[in-house]
Structures are given as structure tokens and as C-alpha cells.
Amino acid sequence: MPDANHDGPAPEAMNFPETLRITIASGEEAFDDAVATASAAEEDEGRDAVVSFENAEGIRRLLTDRRLELLRSLMGESAESITALANRLDRSYSVVHDDVEVLAEYGIVQYRRKGQSKQPFVPYERIEFDVTIEAPDTGADTEAPA
């Protein structure tokens, strides 16, 4: 995953899509989505950003109830600092810092730099979950006898 702490273009200079889609996809499907998203970005096409996991467990580990609360808060209003966000959520700085860092590793949260402060924000208007559940392919005919 990209590391939001490394140098690169300032978040304000980047053109984020309105929607982030979080999906379950095989490694190959996730790679194909990433290539298509990168190509669309180069051509300035409006395409959703995508974060893919190989199984539902990955999504559950990332998006705990507390992290969802944090995301909702940041989507409503960015924070002046992680300390300000921790105060807003009435949670300890260290726990909020860790949660923000994990979400930033996946590109869900971004930072603006202001002096020594990192100002976390969510650059998307909405986050959608695209989860498909399919019956396993047993290779047997599943039709009921007539």
C-alpha cells in the first residue's frame, strides 16, 4: 500500500474522485482495477478510486466501528490535527493516531501539512462497499430433479 507519509504532490494538488469503492476481489482483479483507475486518472476521466481486499476478513479488520466513526467525522469536517480529531471523538491521541495511520496506508485518509501538524482529511464525498457473495462452484448440476 502507498505510504501517505512520503513526499509527493500535495493532496490539494491531486484530483480525487468523488467516490471510493471498497471491494472484495482476487489479486488479479484488484490489479486490473488499479491499472484501469491509473489509466483513467492519466486521461482525466472520472473514475472511482478502488481499494480491494481478497476476502471479507480484510475489510472487517480495517473498518472497525471506531474507524468508521473516525471516517464519518473526517468526511463531515477535516481536522486541524490528530490531537483535535482525538478530542472531537473523545478518544486518546495514540489510538486515533494509530487508526488514522492505518487508514492512510490504504489511501482512505490523506494529510495536509501545516507546520509540524498533520491535518487528516478524507478526500471522497462517499465511500461505497461493493461486496458480492456467490455460491461456490461445486461442478455439479444444481437444478432440482423434475
Task: Write the CATH number for 96.
Answer: 1.10.10.10
115 part of a folded domain: yes
Are the beta carbons of 106 and 6 closer than 8 angstroms?
no
Rounded Cα distance between 103 and 4, Å, is 10
7 part of a folded domain: no
Q: Which residues, 6+ apart, have CB-to-CB distance to 144 below 8 Å? A: none
54 part of a folded domain: yes
Q: What pTM did the predictor assign?
A: 0.69
8 part of a folded domain: no
Total structural domains within the chain: 1
Strand segments (E) across the chain: 19-24, 49-53, 110-114, 117-121, 126-130
Instruction: Determine the structural domain holding residue 50 and report its residue range.
Output: 14-130
Instruction: Walk along the chain (146 residues) and give the pLDDT tens digit of each residue.
Output: 444 444 555 555 567 888 888 888 876 665 565 555 555 444 555 667 888 888 888 888 998 999 999 999 999 999 999 999 999 999 999 999 999 999 999 989 999 988 888 899 999 999 888 877 778 877 665 566 66
136 part of a folded domain: no
Q: Cell numbers at residue 115, please?
A: 507546520
79 part of a folded domain: yes
61 part of a folded domain: yes
String of b and e for 6-16 (b: at least 16 CB within 10 Å)? eeeeeeeeeee
53 part of a folded domain: yes
- DSSP assigned state of 135: -
Are the beta carbons of 4 and 104 closer than 8 angstroms?
yes
